[in-house]
Structure 1
Amino acid sequence: MELLKKIFGKQPETDYMTLVNEGASILDVRTKAEYAEGHVPDSLNIPLRELNKAQMQKHLPVDKPVIICCQSGMRAGQAKRLLENEGYNNVFNVGNWASLMKKI
């Protein structure tokens, strides 16, 4: 059954509220203009184009979970790969920022 879940993308539901309560960072990689139109409270806005190793080290502890959001999930997916390439192991692409608001 676990093999089928992996094949078809069925993963256990992530409890984002628990992650936040345990110190997870919320990273919004939309543009500053998009972020200004609405965002998750206490989220960090670093547009994908500006996300680099220095920004990661400055704002995101490598030993804490990072929840990434954007408008649709595409930029968050790219940001997730960037963070994982820099050694972040506990990274979650939640997709749309508004959907994250409903989960926390």
Structure 2
Amino acid sequence: MNIGIDSAKELSAHLKALRKTHNLTQAQLGQRLGVKQTRMADIEKNPGVVSVAQLLEVLHALDARLLLVPPPVPPLSARRLPGAPPSPSSPSSPLSGADW
């Protein structure tokens, strides 16, 4: 089953659910990864604190993987023509410094 994740909060919930599916405590999963239970709690609570490499290790320990899927192509009627102003729902500028 593929699960779409759009935020760190959603990733947090799915990491916890995966761990529980495998009947593992945070301490047991941490032992598999060579980290303490407190580190596993931090990762579950805020998965944004780890590198992609570390996240991949956690996923591997949970028999899961990261799958990147391009978004579906929007219908022709929703596409912006070159030179047309952005729609009100699209971001006006990319994220910067503090937004990251």
- Flag whether TM exceeds 0.5 (same fold): no
- State TM-score, norm by structure 1: 0.24
- State TM-score, norm by structure 2: 0.24
Where relative contact order (Cα < 8 A, 6+ residues apart) is larger, the structure is 1
Query: Which protein is bigger by CA-based radius of gyration?
Result: 2
